[in-house]
C-alpha cells in the first residue's frame, strides 16, 4: 500500500492528515498495518528479558500504538462528522476488529505482571508526580479490564467486549438512520410564528436533501427546539415532537430497544466478572463520585427543587393557555411554545430578538478573545490545511510568546452526513515524551447555515454550546503534560465537563456580549435594555431544563444498578422509573433510552450522564473565583486556572487539582444558585 496516505508521512502544513487524499478504502489496510505494528510493540515489552522498570514498561507502552492512534483519530472524526454508507460499513467492521485487538493486550498476563510489579513497588521508584499518576492510571486500566482474572473469565470478558462494540456501533448507526430518514416539509401556510432565520435554515436543509426551493424541519436538535418554541401550529408541533422522541423506537430496521436490553445484560455480566455488584458500582469506582449513592445524593438534591419549580411553571403555562381561550391540557409539545410566551411576558424578552445579534463568526471571535484575555492565546485563520469538508475552518493557535501551540478545526454547520449533537475531539494529542508534539483539536456543532447572503445566526443556546465545546477544545489546546495517555481531556468523566461548562460563563457576561453581540445587518451593538432582559431571562425555565436532564441521569443510574433481568421492556421501564420520581407528564427525558447515545453508543458515559451535573457543582463554584477577584479576566486567577485545570490534563488527581485552583472544595449550593433554584430548595 505504497499509495495509502494513512501509511505515508504527512507532508502537509503541521503534518496534518491529508483529508483531500484519504479515501474510505484506505482505512482497512491502514488499520491492519497499525494493529500489526502495535501487537509487535506490545509483545516486545511483555517479553523483555530485562527486569521491569518504569522506562522499559510504562514509558514503552506510552510510545506504542502511534500509527493506530493516527489512523483511528482520522477515522472516527470522519465517521462522526462526515460519514458515508461506505464509512459506516467499515465502522461496523472496525469496531469489532478494535475490540479483538485490545482484548488480548489489556488481558496480557506477562505484560500485566510487569505493570503489577512496578505498581507494588511504586513508592521506591523515585517517580515524578506525573509518572506516579501515569503508573497508577496504567495499573488501574489493566486491572479494570480484567488483566488479573483467570483465563475462562478473560475469555468470556473478551467475547462480551466484542459483542458490546458491535452493539454500540449499531445503536449509533440506527439513531443516525432515523434522523436522516425523517423530515417534514413546511409550506408557506405552515410558517406562522417561525422566525425568518428559522425558515431560511429550513430552506437550506431542504436544499441539502435535494429539495431545492422547499423548506423542511429535520430531527436535528437545532431544528426541532426552535420549531417547538415558535410555531403557532399545535398540530405540527405535535408531529415534530413525536418524531423527535421516537428516534430509535419506531419498530423499524433502526429500532434500538433490543440492543439496549442486550447491552445492559452484558454490562452487568462484566461487572460481576470483575467483582462488582452492578455496572454502576464498577463504573463509578473509577470516578470522582466513587459510588452510585454519591451520584444519587447529588441528583436527588437537585431533583426536588427542580421538580417543584417545573410544577409551578406548568401551572403558569396552563393558566396562560386558559387566558388565551385555549381549551386543552398542556402537552409536552406545548411546553417550549408557552414557556417562550411566558418568558416574553415576564422578562419581556424572546430568543428571536437576540438572534440577529449573535452571528456565528462574532461568537467564535468572542470565544477566541476570551481565550486571549485569560490565557494569552491568539488565533490566525489558515487556508492551507486540508479539511474533510469545505465548511471546516482551521486556525493556528499561538501562545503569549508567539510560539506555535496547536491547530484548531471548527466544523460548525449541520449536514446530513454529520451525527447530531456537538462535540470536541482531536486528531493528535499534546505530549512531550520525545520532543514537543502540538495538538490538533476539533470542535463539531450542528448549527443552521445562513442563507441568501445572510450570516449564520445563533440562538442563545447555540452560542452557549459554542463556548462549551470551545472550553473542551482549550482543555486539549492548553494541555502541557509529558505522557500522551494523560493529555488534555484524559480525565475522569465527571471532571471533564468542568473546563467546558466553566467556559460557558464568559459567554453570558455583559463585557463579552456588549463587544461581540452586533446586529448582522446594522452592526449595532446589542442594546443595553435587550442585554439586561436577556441576562434576566437566563434563569427562566430552569425547572424544565433541570428536570429533563436530571431525570435522564437518574434513568441512566437505574439502568445500571437494577438487575438487568428485572428491567424488561424498555418503554415500560422508562414509564415505571419516571412515575417513581414523579416526573411531570408534560416533560420528556432529554434523551429517551432509544436515543441515549451518551450511554449506549459506547460505554463512555454509561452510568456517567450525571457527570455534567457533578462538573457543574465545580464550574458554578469556580467562576466565583473570578467574581470574588472583581474581574472576570483576573490574571492571577486565570493563571491558577490554566496551571491546575486547563493545562494539567490527567496528570493529577482531579479533586486535588480543584483544591489547588480554588484553595478549597467546591461549595455545593453554587449550582442551585446558578440555576436560580436556591429559593425553591429552601421551600421544598
Ligand atoms: Zn461537554
Write the pLDDT tens digit of every residue in 282-293: 999 999 999 999
Q: What is the DSSP letter of 292?
A: H
- pLDDT single digits (tens) 390-440: 999 999 999 999 999 999 999 999 888 998 889 999 999 999 999 999 999
Cβ-Cβ contacts under 8 Å for 460 (sequence gap 6 or more):
351, 354, 355, 358, 534, 538
Question: Which of 622, 611, 610, 631 shows the shortest CA–CA distance to 665?
Answer: 622
pLDDT for 420? 82
pLDDT average, residue stretch 117-144: 98
Cβ-Cβ contacts under 8 Å for 483 (sequence gap 6 or more):
59, 62, 130, 131, 134, 431, 433, 651
pLDDT average, residue stretch 631-657: 97
Residue 214 Ramachandran class (φ > 0 left, ψ -120 to 50 alpha, else beta):
beta
| Residue 388, pLDDT above cutoff 80 | yes
Strands 393-398 and 423-428: what pairing?
Answer: unpaired
How far, in Å, from the CA of 423 to the mean position of ligand 1? 7
pLDDT for 292? 97
**Residue 349 — pLDDT band, cuts 50, 70, 90?**
confident
Residue 670's Cα: distance from chain center in Å?
23
How far, in Å, from the CA of 549 to the mean position of ligand 1? 14
Q: What's the CA gap between 245 and 177, in Å, rounded?
A: 14
Q: What's the CA gap between 621 and 671, in Å, rounded?
A: 7
How far, in Å, from the CA of 501 to the mean position of ligand 1? 7
| Residue 683, pLDDT above cutoff 60 | no
| Residue 538, pLDDT above cutoff 90 | no
- 3-class secondary structure per residue, 150-184: CHHHHHHHHHHHHHHHHHHHHHHHHHHHHHHHCEE
Evaluate whether 157 touches 107 at the Cβ level (below 8 Å): yes
pLDDT for 2? 62
Evaluate whether 204 touches 449 at the Cβ level (below 8 Å): yes
What is the DSSP annotation of 221-243?
HHHHHHHHHH---HHHHHHHHHH
Backbone angles phi, psi at 134, to 5 degrees: -65, -45
Backbone angles phi, psi at 425, to 5 degrees: -150, 180
Q: Is 329 a catalytic residue?
A: no
Q: What is the DSSP letter of 645?
A: I
Q: What's the CA gap between 159 and 155, in Å, rounded?
A: 6
pLDDT average, residue stretch 102-120: 97
Q: What's the CA gap between 512 and 363, in Å, rounded?
A: 9
What H or E segment, with its residue span, contains residue 272? Answer: helix 257-273
What is the DSSP annotation of 659-674?
HHHHSSPPPTHHHHHH
How far, in Å, from the CA of 191 to the mean position of ligand 1? 33
How far, in Å, from the CA of 446 to the mean position of ligand 1? 14
Q: What is the pTM of this model?
A: 0.91
Tell me the torsion sign for CA atoms 468, 371, 482, 396: positive
Q: What's the CA gap between 13 and 438, in Å, rounded?
A: 12
- pLDDT single digits (tens) 170-202: 999 999 999 988 999 999 999 999 988 789 889
Helix (H, G, I), strand (E, B) or coil at 208: helix
Cβ-Cβ contacts under 8 Å for 159 (sequence gap 6 or more):
none
Angle at 512 between CA 381 and CA 220, to 5 degrees: 70
Grid coordinates 515489552 are at which residue?
45
**Residue 535 — pLDDT band, cuts 50, 70, 90?**
confident
Q: Mean pLDDT for the chain?
A: 95
Q: What is the per-residue burial (b if ≥16 Cβ within 10 Å, else e) of 246-265?
A: bbbbbeeebebeebbbebbe
Q: Which range has the worst mean pLDDT, 66-70, 209-213, 363-367?
A: 209-213
Tell me how far CA of residue 331 lies from CA of 353, 585, 594, in angstroms.
26, 8, 21
How far, in Å, from the CA of 467 to the mean position of ligand 1? 10
How far, in Å, from the CA of 110 to the mean position of ligand 1? 37
Q: What's the CA gap between 388 and 392, in Å, rounded?
A: 7
Q: Which residue did the predictor score with more confidence, 125 or 533?
A: 125
**Residue 152 — pLDDT band, cuts 50, 70, 90?**
very high
What H or E segment, with its residue span, contains residue 398? Answer: strand 393-398
How far, in Å, from the CA of 442 to the mean position of ligand 1? 13
- pLDDT single digits (tens) 479-494: 999 999 999 999 999 9
Contacts 24+ apart (CB under 8 A), 201-204: 201/448, 201/449, 201/450, 201/451, 203/451, 204/448, 204/449, 204/451
| Residue 633, pLDDT above cutoff 70 | yes
- pLDDT single digits (tens) 441-472: 999 999 988 877 889 999 888 999 999 999 99
**Residue 48 — pLDDT band, cuts 50, 70, 90?**
very high
pLDDT for 580? 97
Q: Which residue did the predictor score with more confidence, 351 or 2?
A: 351
What is the DSSP annotation of 515-559?
HH-B-TTT-PBPPHHHHHHHHHHTTTTHHHHHHHHHHHHHHHHHH
Strands 404-413 and 393-398: what pairing?
Answer: antiparallel
Of the residues 62, 179, 469, 586, which is catalytic?
Answer: 469
| Residue 668, pLDDT above cutoff 80 | no
**Residue 520 — pLDDT band, cuts 50, 70, 90?**
very high
pLDDT for 1? 55
pLDDT for 313? 95
Amino acid at each position: 500500500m505504497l499509495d495509502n496516505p494513512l501509511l505515508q508521512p504527512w507532508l502537509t502544513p503541521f503534518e496534518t492528515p491529508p483529508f483531500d487524499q484519504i479515501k474510505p478504502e484506505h482505512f482497512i489496510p491502514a488499520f491492519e498495518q497499525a494493529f500489526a505494528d502495535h501487537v509487535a510493540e506490545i509483545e516486545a515489552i511483555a517479553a523483555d528479558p530485562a527486569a521491569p522498570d518504569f522506562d522499559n514498561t510504562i514509558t514503552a507502552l506510552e510510545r506504542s500504538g502511534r500509527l493506530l492512534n493516527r489512523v483511528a483519530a482520522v477515522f472516527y472524526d470522519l465517521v462522526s462528522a462526515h460519514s458515508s454508507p461506505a464509512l459506516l460499513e467499515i465502522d461496523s467492521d472496525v469496531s469489532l476488529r478494535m475490540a479483538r485487538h485490545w482484548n488480548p493486550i489489556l488481558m496480557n498476563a506477562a505484560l500485566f505482571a510487569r505493570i503489577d510489579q512496578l505498581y507494588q513497588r511504586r513508592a521506591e521508584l523515585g517517580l515524578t508526580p506525573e509518572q506516579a499518576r501515569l503508573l497508577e492510571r496504567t495499573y488501574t486500566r489493566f486491572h479494570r479490564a480484567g488483566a488479573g482474572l483467570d483465563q475462562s473469565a478473560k475469555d468470556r470478558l473478551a467475547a462480551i467486549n466484542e459483542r458490546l462494540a458491535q452493539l454500540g456501533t449499531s445503536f449509533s448507526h440506527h439513531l443516525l438512520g432515523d434522523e436522516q430518514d425523517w423530515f417534514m416539509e413546511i409550506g408557506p401556510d405552515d410558517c406562522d410564528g417561525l422566525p425568518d432565520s428559522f425558515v431560511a435554515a429550513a430552506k437550506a436543509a431542504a436544499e441539502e436533501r435535494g429539495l431545492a426551493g422547499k423548506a423542511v424541519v429535520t430531527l436535528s436538535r437545532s431544528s426541532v427546539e426552535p420549531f417547538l418554541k415558535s410555531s403557532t401550529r399545535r398540530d405540527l408541533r405535535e408531529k415534530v415532537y413525536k418524531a423527535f422522541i421516537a428516534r430509535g423506537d419506531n419498530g423499524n430496521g433502526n429500532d434500538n430497544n433490543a440492543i439496549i436490553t442486550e447491552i445492559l445484560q452484558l454490562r452487568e455480566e462484566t461487572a460481576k466478572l470483575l467483582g462488582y455488584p452492578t455496572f454502576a458500582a464498577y463504573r463509578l469506582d473509577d470516578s470522582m463520585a466513587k459510588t452510585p449513592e454519591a451520584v444519587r445524593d447529588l441528583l436527588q438534591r437537585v431533583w426536588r427543587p427542580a421538580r417543584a419549580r417545573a410544577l409551578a411553571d406548568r401551572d403558569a403555562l396552563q393558566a396562560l393557555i386558559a387566558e388565551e381561550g385555549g381549551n386543552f391540557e398542556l402537552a409536552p409539545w406545548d411546553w417550549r411554545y408557552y414557556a417562550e410566551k411566558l418568558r416574553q411576558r415576564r422578562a419581556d424578552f424572546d430568543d428571536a430578538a437576540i438572534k440577529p445579534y449573535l452571528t456565528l463568526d462574532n461568537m467564535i471571535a468572542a470565544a477566541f478573545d476570551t481565550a486571549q484575555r485569560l490565557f494569552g492565546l491568539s488565533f490566525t485563520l489558515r487556508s492551507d490545511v486540508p479539511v474533510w469538508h469545505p465548511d471546516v475552518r482551521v486556525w493556528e493557535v499561538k501562545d503569549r510568546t508567539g510560539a506555535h501551540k496547536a491547530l484548531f478545526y471548527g466544523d460548525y454547520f449541520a449536514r446530513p452526513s454529520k451525527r447530531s449533537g456537538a462535540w470536541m475531539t482531536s486528531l493528535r494529542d499534546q505530549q512531550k515524551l520525545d520532543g514537543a508534539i502540538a495538538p490538533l483539536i476539533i470542535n463539531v456543532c450542528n448549527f443552521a447555515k445562513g442563507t441568501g447572503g445572510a450570516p449564520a445566526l445563533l440562538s442563545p443556546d447555540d452560542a452557549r454550546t459554542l463556548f462549551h465545546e470551545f472550553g473542551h477544545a482549550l482543555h486539549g489546546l492548553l494541555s502541557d503534560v509529558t505522557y500522551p495517555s494523560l493529555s488534555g481531556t484524559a480525565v475522569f468523566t465527571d471532571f471533564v465537563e468542568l473546563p467546558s461548562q466553566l467556559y460557558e460563563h464568559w459567554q453570558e457576561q455583559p463585557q463579552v456580549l456588549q463587544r461581540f453581540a452586533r446586529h448582522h445587518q446594522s452592526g449595532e451593538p446589542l442594546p443595553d435594555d435587550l442585554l439586561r432582559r436577556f441576562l434576566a431571562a437566563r434563569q427562566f425555565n430552569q425547572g424544565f431544563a433541570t428536570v429533563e436532564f436530571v431525570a435522564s441521569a437518574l434513568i441512566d443510574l437505574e439502568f445500571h444498578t437494577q438487575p438487568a433481568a428485572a428491567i424488561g421492556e424498555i418503554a415500560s421501564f422508562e414509564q415505571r422509573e419516571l412515575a417513581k420520581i414523579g416526573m411531570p407528564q408534560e416533560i420528556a427525558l432529554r434523551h429517551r433510552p432509544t436515543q441515549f447515545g451518551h450511554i449506549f453508543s459506547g460505554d463512555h458515559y454509561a452510568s456517567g450522564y450525571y457527570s455534567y451535573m457533578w462538573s457543574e457543582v465545580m464550574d458554578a463554584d469556580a467562576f466565583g473565583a473570578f467574581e470574588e477577584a472583581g474581574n472576570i479576566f483576573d490574571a492571577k486567577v486565570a493563571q491558577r486556572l490554566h496551571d491546575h485545570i486547563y493545562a494539567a490534563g490527567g496528570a493529577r488527581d482531579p479533586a486535588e487539582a480543584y483544591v489547588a485552583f480554588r484553595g478549597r472544595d467546591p461549595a455545593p449550593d453554587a449550582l442551585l444558585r446558578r440555576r436560580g433554584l436556591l429559593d425553591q430548595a429552601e421551600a421544598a
